[in-house]
Amino acid sequence: MSRKIKKTKLTTEQPAANLTTEVEVQTPRSALAGMGGDEHRIYSSMFEVFGIVQGVFFRKHTQAKAKQLGLGGWCMNTREGTVKGVIEGKLLGLNEMKTWLQTKGSPRSTITKAVFTPNEPLPAHNFKTFTIRR
């Protein structure tokens, strides 16, 4: 197993002696993981799911799955017969939800296609829960 190291050079100046000292500090990347790493950031993605997704409790099951994964956002039926919405949360949950929306859905649904916008990092949550819009 390889260990990744982040190297940082620190420079200090001592004006009286006119000396410059460089010190190389090595910090393991694992120690940096909790400092804004992808696993702790909040991301958002819009989605639209095509197929037989209306009248089959798709939105209700989507809400339940989002709650299970700790995601916020919303979903709604469209006039075109699709379901669209927004999901936001940690990257792992977001990716699991995308897979679920593409392949599973509600028991009575038939998904032919699901499209997503790229994951967009957010400074904070926009949604406290996942809701169904009417």
Give the residue numbers annotated as catalytic, written as ranges. 59, 77
Dihedral over alpha carbons 35, 38, 41, 45 (to 10 degrees): 170
Burial 13-35 (b: 16+ CB within 10 A, else e): eeeeeeeeeeeeeeeeeeeeeee
For the chain, how many residues are written? 134
